[in-house]
Structure 1
Amino acid sequence: MKRSDFFYDLPPSLIAQHPLAQRSDSRLLCLDGSSGAIEHSYFHSLLNYLRPNDLLVFNNTRVIPARLWGQKETGGRLEILIERLTGIDTALAHIRSSKSPKPGSRILLSAEQGAEPGPFSLEVIDRVGALFALRTPEGQPLSEVLQVIGHMPLPPYIERSDEAFDQDRYQTVYAEREGAVAAPTAGLHFSDTLLQALEQQGIRRSFVTLHVAAGTFQPVRAEQIEDHHMHAEYLEVDAEVCEAVAQTRERGGRVIAVGTTAVRALETASAETGLPQPYCGDTDIFIYPGYDFKAVDALVTNFHLPESTLLMLVSAFAGREAIMAAYSEAIEQSYRFFSYGDAMFITAAKHAAVKEEMRS
């Protein structure tokens, strides 16, 4: 399939720049992947679309304050976005500057953009493709530096600086394991109150960990989407999740992934046997139309960028035509898009129908 098959025209005014006052007040577009039928609702009414034997699978990664400002020893200003932590005192990062820093050079860090450097610094130890390997001096934990002067890494389509409220709102209420540099945004709609209501209704939950990397915003440049090289992200699926999925199948319930990261986690863990198996390591799974889903029956997700790998994933799940029609409807109804925007609840299309769509 072509990249252009996943293009849609989005008015900039529909890109959410701030979260709503209450997490679960977001709108919810419900799409039946088999029929293409659409319903409009609100996220606090998600219970109306769930059943007592269903299992919700969440991603419990926690976003680190991964954006840093600083300057080279020669004075040139730069911006750092951590891609992933690789050790206690090391990381791979993107660096934006007029001239790339060289291995062996030192970066003097600032608390704010344009501010004078403070006591913290980083050494450039290597160049790894488009990324830079960085290290703190004398083994100082990098996480400590980030907690003091790091900024929340808001996506590029949020055209403002991070503010104090982003430290809470660009984080799920169940975030636990630090390591992501972008939020698993479908989970941002869940409040503690809604989670309690789900539990009272017998909706079970499990957690995977997938540390979302900055590569999630990497555009697809290949015209044939099969030629796209997917970035890698760290993933853990434990035995407890695998057992919960198996029990859900036995009860006749549905496995519902909260976010595309949970989909990628479960499908990676199911790749070898068709059922989730414990998994620990990197995943670079790329899901696009024609993929045969093994673990996931329904999906809670936000709206995704045109021509993005995430839009291709949901198109594989519900069918490209159904997804593009739903997005057109969402635009017409002035839904809010992307990280701080509204959500969708999607049930899977019959895979045979999706494959027939590809052939036609």
Structure 2
Amino acid sequence: MRTSNFEFDYPLDLLAKYPTKERDESRLMIIHRHNNKIEHKYFKDLHFYFEEGDTLILNNTKVFPARLFGNKEKTEAKIEVFLLRELDSSDRIWDVLVDPARKVRVGNKLNFGSGLTGEVIDNTTSRGRILQIHFNGTHEKLIKKIKELGKTPLPKYIKRLPEKIDEIRYQTIYAKIEGSVAAPTAGLHFSKHLLKKLEIKGINLVEITLHLGLSSFFPVEVEDISKHKMDSEKCFIKKDVCSIINNTIQQKKRICAVGTSSMRAIESSVSSNKNLNPFSGWTNKFIFPPYNFSIANTMITNFHMPKSTLLMMIAAFSGYDLIMKAYKIAIEEKYRFHSYGDSMLIL
């Protein structure tokens, strides 16, 4: 299997720039792996496909307002800084992306306003820099100030500035633990009403945490998939969650990974007897065909970009031929793609 196998064309007007009016009114494609049948529903119909004792695994990470806009000292050139992760809290060192990268060099100083400044102290990738942030206050006050000035980190392909609606809708309703610079988009479709329907039906809703970076959203640039390297992302799975999931396995009920991040998290901590272990650490798990999944037997996911690691994972889960057929149908039926787009349930 090569990266070029995951290339496809789609009309750019199918790229969703805004969410649907209501979260659960997005469309939902149902893919039945046992007979290759495909249905067209709405996300609010999800509860019809699960029964008492089934388990849904939700990623409760919360998106950090990671996009800052500043000006270069002296030239006043406008620079966008995307905060990826804090490397050293005492010295306030951050791993960042900058745009336009050609204008930002080591030694450049940036002013973000309200007493927040930064100095570029090293290069990483073509757009990557190491930034030391300067602010007169405690670390807690610094983070508060970044949140005040920062904007919702919408993916670049949406090609618009963040708006007020994004502060709410580019976040799941069960987001709790801050640390992501990208939303776990499969979870964006859940409404409070739908979650309540699932609970009333006796379906387990358990939460894990995987803080998303940007590597999952970058296209794979090597033709040999096995040579692609994922960035590490922080992951937490609690003991009580493992107990519920492992009991569901024993009962031979449905276990649904809500999103590729949930799937990557649980597949990063599998025991020798195919049960889930508690986990606290980093994972750079890259799942691509062929792959034998150990925990989840169903999956919810959005429609992803060509040549992405996300598409490769769901091809491993559903089967390459079936998923490419589903994408062809999705384009014909005008499903909306990517973060604010529609979704599929793979059974």
TM bucket by the smaller chain? over 0.9
Partner of 2:103: 99
Aligned residues: 339
Q: Which residues in structure 2 correspond to 1:26-175 (within 5 Å)?
A: 26-75=26-75, 76-88=77-89, 89-97=92-100, 98-103=102-107, 105-109=108-112, 117-129=113-125, 131-137=128-134, 138=136, 139-141=138-140, 142-175=142-175
Q: Find the aligned partners of 1:85 and 1:58 in 2 and give their Cα distance.
A: 25
Q: TM-score, normalised by structure 2?
A: 0.93
Measured after TM superposition, the shift of residue 127 of structure 1 is 3.3
CA distance in 2, matches of 1:68, 1:210: 23
Q: Which residue of 2 aligns with 1:328?
A: 328
The Cα shift of 1:207 comes to: 0.7
Is the 8 Å Cα contact of residues 118 and 133 (structure 2) preserved in structure 1? yes
Partner residue of 2:21?
Answer: 21
Question: Structure 2: how far apart are the matches of 1:215 and 1:77?
Answer: 25
Q: Which sits farther off after the overlay, 210-219 or 36-45?
A: 210-219
Amino acid at match of 1:108: N
* Aligned counterpart, 1:357: none
Report the Cα distance in structure 2 between the residues aligned to 1:243 and 1:343, rounded to whole angstroms.
28
1:147 Cα deviation after fit? 1.4
Determine if contact 2:234/2:281 at 8 Å carries over to the other structure.
yes
**Structure 1 residue 343 corresponds to structure 2 residue 347:** no
**1:285 and 2:285 correspond:** yes
Q: CA offsets per residue over residues 120-143 of structure 1, 9 Å max, x none?
A: 112334434453233332554442
1:189: Cα distance to partner? 0.3
| Equivalence for 1:114 | none
After the TM superposition, which of the residue ranges 269-278 and 76-85 deviates more from structure 2?
A: 269-278
Query: For the residues of structure 2 that align with 1:223 and 1:118, how far apart are their CA atoms?
Result: 46
Q: Which runs of 5+ in 2 are unaligned?
A: none
* CA apart distance, 1:272: 5.6
1:202 is paired with a residue of what secondary structure? Answer: coil
Q: 1:101 to 1:74 in 2, by over 3 A?
A: farther
Aligned amino acid, residue 82 of structure 1:
L
- Tell me the CA shift for residue 151 of structure 1: 0.6
Take 1:273 and 1:129, find their aligned partners in 2: how far apart are those partners?
A: 40
Equivalences for residues 236-275 of structure 1 within 5 A: 236-270=236-270, 274-275=274-275
Q: 1:87 Cα deviation (Å)?
A: 4.8
- How far apart are the structure 2 equivalents of 1:216 and 1:143? 25
Deviation at 1:274, TM superposition (A): 2.7
Does the 8 A contact of 2:219 with 2:306 survive in 1?
no
The one-character-per-residue Cα deviations of 1:135-170 (angstroms, maximum 9, x if unpaired) are: 332554442122111010111111211100100000
Gaps of 5+ in 1: 110-116, 348-360
Measure the CA separation in 1 of the matches of 2:291 and 2:234. 22
Partner of 1:187: 187
Q: Is the 8 A contact 2:94 2:133 kept in 1?
A: no
- How has the CA–CA distance of structure 1 residues 87 and 211 changed in structure 2, closer, same or farther, with 3 Å as cutoff? farther
Distance 1:55 1:91 in 2: 37
Partner of 2:207: 207
The answer to whether the 8 A contact 2:63-2:179 is kept is yes
CA deviation after TM superposition for structure 1 residue 77, in Å? 2.6
1:229 corresponds to 2:219:
no
What is the CA–CA distance in structure 2 between the aligned matches of 1:198 and 1:231, rounded to whole Å?
34
1:83 CA displacement: 1.4
% identity of equivalent residues: 40
Tell whether the 8 Å contact from 1:219 to 1:307 is kept in structure 2 after alignment: yes
Kindly tell me: are residues 274 and 74 of structure 1, through their superposed partners in 2, closer, same or farther at Cα, counting changes over 3 Å?
farther
Partners of 1:14 and 1:290 lie apart in 2 by: 29
Contact kept in structure 2, 1:83 and 1:215, CA below 8 Å: no
Contact kept? 1:72, 1:101, Cα under 8 Å: no
Which segment is superposed worse, 331-340 or 215-224?
215-224
Q: Normalization by structure 1: what TM-score?
A: 0.90
Cα distance in 1, alignment partners of residues 105 and 161 from structure 2: 24
CA distance in 1, matches of 2:88, 2:244: 31
Cross-structure match for 2:197: 197
CA distance, structure 1, for counterparts of residue 63 and residue 182 of structure 2: 6
Tell me the residue number matched to 1:315.
315
